[in-house]
Amino acid sequence: MTVIVRDLRPEVAPDVEGFVRVRHLALPFVYFSPQSVRHFFAHAHPDAHARKLVAEEDGEIIGTAQLGLAHESPEHGQGFLNVYVDPARTGRGAGTLLVRTAEEHLAAHGATKLFAWILDEPGNRAFAERHGYRASRSAHFLRLDLARTPLPPLQDPPPGVELRTAADFADDPRPLFELDAAVVADEPSDIDTEFTDYEAWVAQTWHHPHLDRELTSVAVADGRPVAFSVAHTHGPGRYGTGMTGTARTHRGRGLAKLVKNDSLHRARAAGYTEAYTGNDSDNGPMLAINKWFGYEICATEVRHVRTLG
């Protein structure tokens, strides 16, 4: 039995379905769909030199890799690769082949430092170390039983603040782009990110197939969005928080709790039964907020880094 690695073919339905299947088996806390995979191909920025790879054994996809350059970072030469293998098909060399192919591609396009997320399990940690990666930081996946866990009561916004939804900005989402750019710049990360390309943001984020504008809650003050909780919905019953953030000038007013609580209440009313989110393990304030809502940690990922050359 021979394992080969090749590019995913987005126009071939079995390829896309195989990629999604492996991702859900290996990483059930993050939802992928055929629509989101094809969206990636349709709107990936050319400067990212992004690829999706699959490892195939006897015609069956058993592993996947998503990779590219961090083109939105002011520091050049940073790349990312996230490799996931069907848990029932490990030990066949698929992971090693995916890593090797991804590294060769990224190095050829100028990457000198590579970052990878790896689930915090003994076999995964040993795999990363064998390939020259060292742990740098960690993040948690959290789950909330939205059907059975009581949510905090809804609260009125503070004076001068009103609650809206992302759908209210359908005619002009630029104010949400500006808030997103400000929040992302402050987000804990080992890769600094600067959102400067509005058109790319519209294509990749605003038109993402899982973005639920009706359930994305936005706090508005002085006519501008100052906090939001971005909702992604996936199939029957599953809701995820893509980002919750507040503009620096409006922090300390409880707006993150306000918008997230509003979104969760409306998600439950719409029939969603489970909610997922993720937090950097050092992000104490957001972890405390999610604990207040009733989220529980269900898994941990560890960020690994390798310097090339």
Q: Which residues of 189-201 are buried (b: 16+ CB within 10 A; e: fewer)?
A: bebeeebebeebb
Instruction: Fill in the DSSP letter of residue 10.
Output: T
Q: Residue 284 above 80 pLDDT?
A: yes
CA-CA distance, 230 to 179, in Å (whole number)? 12
* pLDDT the model gives residue 192: 64
Contact 275, 144 (CB under 8 A): yes
Q: Is 43 exposed, middle or buried (0-12, 13-18, 19+ CB in 10 A)?
A: middle
* pLDDT the model gives residue 234: 84
CA-CA distance, 172 to 170, in Å (whole number)? 6
pLDDT band at residue 111, thresholds of 50, 70 and 90? very high
* pLDDT the model gives residue 193: 64
Q: Residue 294 above 90 pLDDT?
A: yes
Q: Token pair of 242, please?
A: 């893509």
* pLDDT the model gives residue 160: 96
* pLDDT the model gives residue 255: 96
* pLDDT the model gives residue 150: 96
Q: Do domains 3-111 and 144-298 have the same CATH topology?
A: yes
pLDDT digits 0-9 by tens, 117-145: 999 988 999 999 999 999 999 999 999 99
| Phi, psi dihedrals of residue 157, rounded to the nearest 5° | -65, 155
CATH ID of 3-111, from 3.40.50.2300, 3.20.20.70, 3.40.630.30, 1.20.1250.20: 3.40.630.30
Contacts 24+ apart (CB under 8 A), 280-284: 280/137, 280/138, 280/139, 280/187, 280/188, 280/189, 281/137, 281/138, 281/139, 281/140, 282/137, 282/188, 283/188
Q: Residue 10 above 70 pLDDT?
A: yes
Q: Residue 70 above 90 pLDDT?
A: no
Q: Count the neighbouring beta carbons within 10 Å of the beta carbon of residue 80.
A: 21
Domain locations in the chain as residue ranges = 3-111, 144-298
pLDDT digits 0-9 by tens, 231-253: 999 877 999 999 999 999 999 99
pLDDT digits 0-9 by tens, 15-59: 999 999 999 999 999 999 999 999 998 998 898 999 999 999 999
pLDDT digits 0-9 by tens, 157-213: 999 999 999 999 999 999 999 999 999 877 766 666 667 789 999 999 999 999 999
Q: Token pair of 307, please?
A: 């310097």
* pLDDT the model gives residue 185: 77
CATH ID of 144-298, from 2.170.8.10, 3.40.630.30, 1.10.3720.10, 3.40.1360.10: 3.40.630.30
Contact 118, 302 (CB under 8 A): yes
Average pLDDT value for residue range 244-271: 96
Q: Mean pLDDT of all residues in the chain?
A: 93
Residues 241, 284, 128, 5, Cα dihedral to 10°: 10
